[in-house]
Amino acid sequence: MIRIALFGQPGSGKSTLAQNIAERLHARVIEASTAVVFPIAAHVKKLPNEETLIEQLRQLSKRKSFASREDAMNMFDRLRLKYGADFIARALHELFLENSKQPTLVFSGLRGIDNAKYCRLHNDFVVYLKVDDQTAIRRLMKSRGYTKQQAVDELKKEQVLYQTKQIEKIANLVIDTTTMSIDRSAKLIEDTIKQWNQMCTHCVNTARNPAIRFMKNGLCHICDTYQTHFDPTHLQEELEFLESFIGTGSNDHDILVGLSGGKDSTATLLSIKQMGFNPLAVTFNLGYLPRTTMPRSKEMAKLLETPHEEIDIRSYIRPIDHASYEKTVALYEKPFTLETKLAFQKAYAEGRKHYSVKCKHSPIFVRTCQLCRRMVIRAYYDETLKRGARAIVLGINEWTNLSAAQSGKEYKVSGVRKLQPYKNKPAVYVFHLPFLLQRTSRETKAMLKKIGWTPPVGEDFIESNSNSCLFARSTERMAKRLLGFHPDSTRLAREVTVGFITKEQALKALGKLHPYKDTPREVLRKAKILK
C-alpha cells in the first residue's frame, strides 16, 4: 500500500492538492478532521483510554459527524494533550492501514511535527507544502473570509502549537506552492512516488534502497552490469580451473566444502563428490548458528559419506570487529523513533563502504552479514591452508567482483575469488559452484530429492539469511521497519539476477519475518562475543 501524508501551513493548498492526487492515482483521501477529530468532538464527551477511543472511532466512522471549526480545534488540542502529539497519525494508521481496499491512501489535514515524524517513521511518503506568509495570508482571507489580522494570528498559532515549518526538514518531498500550481505539484508527487516505489524489472531491488540505481531500460544497475559483462565461456574456464584441483592437497583432502546442511551447501557437496573430488566438509561457527545447523551438517556429511569438521572461527574476531559488534548492538537498542530510522539509513550506507576484510574501520553494520563476512573470509584462507588444501567450494549462487559491479568499472563476471593476503604464502581460491554451473533452484531441488533431502519443518525452500543466522534473525524485524526494505534484499536480488531463483520466490522470502525472542545483545552474549 502507498500512503501519502500531506503537511503544510494553513493556506498551503493541502485539501485541494489531496483531491488532485486522488484523481491521478485513484486514491482515497482521508481527512484527519472528518475521520478522527469531528467524530470525537461531536459524540465523545469524556475521553476514555486510547484503545477504547480507537474502537469507538471504528463505529463512529460509519456515521456522519459535524463539529464547528472552533470545537474541532479545541478537541484537537485535548487529544494532543491526553494521548500525545502524534495521536492523529497513530489513529489514522490504526483505522485505515488494514481495512482500506484501495492501494493508495492520501492523509490530509494532519498537523504538527510529531504527526509528521510518526508518518515518516512508518514509511508514509511525507510531503511538506511550503508557502510564504503573504501568500498564505491572502489565501486564508479568500477561502475562510478572515481579516488580515485573523490570518496572521492563525499562522502564528499554528507555528507555536505545531511547529509546522519544522516538517520541511524531515519530509520526503518539499513543494513550494507559492509558485508551483496544484496540477504541477500533483504531477511532481505522482512522478516521485513512482520513483520511490520503483522495482527492477528483472530482480527485487527497489529504489527504497539508497545503494540501488536504475537505468533507462528499467533494470537496476546490478542487473544491467551483470547482463553486460556475463560471458559463459569465462565461467567454463573457471569450472575447468576448479577441476584442476582434483587429486591435489597435502593431506587426505583435495578441497574443502562449506556445509550448513541447507539446500545449497548439500547440493554443492553432492556435486563435488560427483566431479571426483575427495572433499572435507566444514561448518564455520561464530557462535550464533541455529541449533539445527550442526546436526543437519553432520547428517548430510554422513549421508554423502564425507568427513566433516566444525570450525570455531571466533578467534578471527579482531578488536575492530568487537567494536563493530558493540556499535551495531547499541544502534539496535535505540528506541523506535524517526531519529533512529535516519541513523539506521545512514549506518546502512556507511557499512557498505567498509565491509572489506582489508578495511580497518569499525562501522555499524545494519546488515549483519557484512560484519560476519570480515571473519569468514579470513577464515576461508587460513583454515583451508591448515588442512593442506588450496581451494574451498561454497553453495553461493552469485558472482564475485561485486565491488566492481557497484562502481561501474570494467570487470568479468566470475564465480571465483582469489585470496592471497600475504605475498610469501600461496593463494587460496573460493569457488561459488552453483553459479559456475548456472544451476537453478528447480535443478537443485531435483538433485536433493534423489538423496532424500527435505527442508526442516516450517522452513521454505527459499529463505532469507535470517533463517540460518540467529544474529540476523534478532535484527531482521527492526532493520526492515527502519530501512523500509529487507536487509537481505540485495542478496536475494542477485540470486534472481543470475537466474537461480525467480522474482516471485525472492519476494515471498522477503515477505517472511522470522520471530525471535532474543535481542542482538543477548545473541552475542550467548555466543560469548560480547560480555
- In the three-class reduction of DSSP (H, G, I as helix; E, B as strand; rest coil), residue 3 is classed as strand
Q: What is the pLDDT of residue 407?
A: 55
Q: Cβ of 352: how many Cβ atoms within 10 Å? A: 19
Q: Cβ of 244: how many Cβ atoms within 10 Å? A: 9
Q: Which helix (H) or strand (E) holds 429?
A: strand 428-432
The answer to whether 250 and 243 have CB atoms below 8 angstroms apart is no
What's the CA gap between 234 and 399, in Å, rounded? Answer: 12
Q: What residue type is assigned to position 415 of the chain?
A: G
What's the CA gap between 499 and 397, in Å, rounded? Answer: 9
What's the CA gap between 391 and 242, in Å, rounded? Answer: 8
Burial of 65 (0-12, 13-18, 19+ CB in 10 A): middle
pLDDT in tens, 3-49: 999 999 999 999 999 999 999 999 999 999 899 999 999 999 899 99
The answer to whether 500 and 492 have CB atoms below 8 angstroms apart is no
Q: What is the pLDDT of residue 77?
A: 87
Cell numbers describing residue 353: 563502504
Lowest average pLDDT, out of 27-36, 45-54, 242-251, 395-404, goes to 395-404
What's the CA gap between 68 and 74, in Å, rounded? Answer: 10
The answer to whether 282 and 383 have CB atoms below 8 angstroms apart is yes
Q: Cβ of 217: how many Cβ atoms within 10 Å? A: 10
pLDDT in tens, 141-159: 999 999 999 999 989 988 8
What's the CA gap between 81 and 380, in Å, rounded? Answer: 59
Q: What is the pLDDT of residue 399?
A: 86
pLDDT in tens, 484-524: 999 999 999 999 999 999 999 999 999 999 989 999 999 99
Q: What is the pLDDT of residue 187?
A: 97
Q: What is the pLDDT of residue 343?
A: 96
| Domains along the sequence of the chain with CATH | 2-196 (3.40.50.300), 221-279+294-314+378-455+463-526 (no CATH)
Q: Cβ of 397: how many Cβ atoms within 10 Å? A: 28
The answer to whether 430 and 416 have CB atoms below 8 angstroms apart is yes
Burial of 84 (0-12, 13-18, 19+ CB in 10 A): middle
Instruction: Give one DSSP letter per residue of 313-351, joined into a string.
Output: -GGG--HHHHHHHHHHHHHHTS-SSHHHHHHHHHHHHHH
Cell numbers describing residue 48: 476514555
Residue 411 scores a pLDDT above 80: no
- The C-alpha cell 492520501 sits at 106
pLDDT in tens, 103-132: 899 999 898 999 999 999 999 999 999 999
Q: What residue type is assigned to position 336 of the chain?
A: F
- The C-alpha cell 553486460 sits at 228
What's the CA gap between 83 and 86, in Å, rounded? Answer: 8
Residue 280 scores a pLDDT above 70: yes
Q: What is the pLDDT of residue 98?
A: 72
Question: Given the DSSP bridges, would you call strands 428-432 and 416-419 parallel, antiparallel or unpaired?
Answer: antiparallel
pLDDT band at 403 (very low <50, low <70, confident <90, very high): low
pLDDT in tens, 295-313: 999 999 999 999 999 999 9
pLDDT in tens, 59-91: 887 788 788 878 888 898 899 999 999 999 999
Q: What is the pLDDT of residue 406?
A: 53
Q: Among 8, 9, 28, which residue's Cα sits nearest to residue 19?
A: 28
Q: What is the pLDDT of residue 186?
A: 97
- In the three-class reduction of DSSP (H, G, I as helix; E, B as strand; rest coil), residue 5 is classed as strand
Cell numbers describing residue 405: 559491479
What's the CA gap between 117 and 177, in Å, rounded? Answer: 22
Q: What is the pLDDT of residue 409?
A: 60
Angle at the Cα of 161 from the Cα atoms of 165 and 96, rounded to 5 degrees: 80
Cell numbers describing residue 179: 509558485
Cα 26 to Cα 18, 20, 98, 102, distances in angstroms: 11, 10, 18, 8
pLDDT, the chain, mean: 93
pLDDT band at 404 (very low <50, low <70, confident <90, very high): low
Cell numbers describing residue 75: 478537541
What's the CA gap between 236 and 293, in Å, rounded? Answer: 32
